Structure 1
Amino acid sequence: MDWKVVFFGFLGLMGLYLMGSVLLAPLRLVLRLFWAMVVGTCLLGLINLVGELFHFHIALNPLTALAAGLYPVGGVLLLTLLALAGFRA
Structure 2
Amino acid sequence: MTSGWIIALLVAGLLVVIAASKSAWKPIRWIGLGAMQLVIGAVLLFFANLIGDLADFHIPINPVTALVTGLLRLPGLAALIIIKMWLL
TM-score scaled to structure 1, two decimals? 0.70
- Greater RCO, 1 or 2 (C-alpha within 8 Å, sep 6+): 1
| Structure 1 outlier segments of 4+, above 6 Å | none
Is 1:25 paired with 2:3?
no
Question: What one-letter code is carried by the residue in structure 2 that aligns with 1:47?
Answer: A
> Paired residue for 1:64?
65
Query: Helix, strand or coil: the match of 1:60?
Result: coil
- Higher Rg: 1
How far did residue 79 of structure 1 move?
0.4
Is 1:84 paired with 2:81?
no
> Paired residue for 2:43?
42
Indicate the percent of aligned positions where both proteins have the same amino acid.
Answer: 33
TM-score scaled to structure 2, two decimals? 0.71
Q: Structure 2: where are the runs of 5+ without partners?
A: 1-22
CA RMSD in angstroms comes to 1.2
Q: Structure 1: where are the runs of 5+ without partners?
A: 1-19
In structure 1, what is the Cα distance between the partners aligned to 2:49 and 2:74?
15
Aligned residues: 66
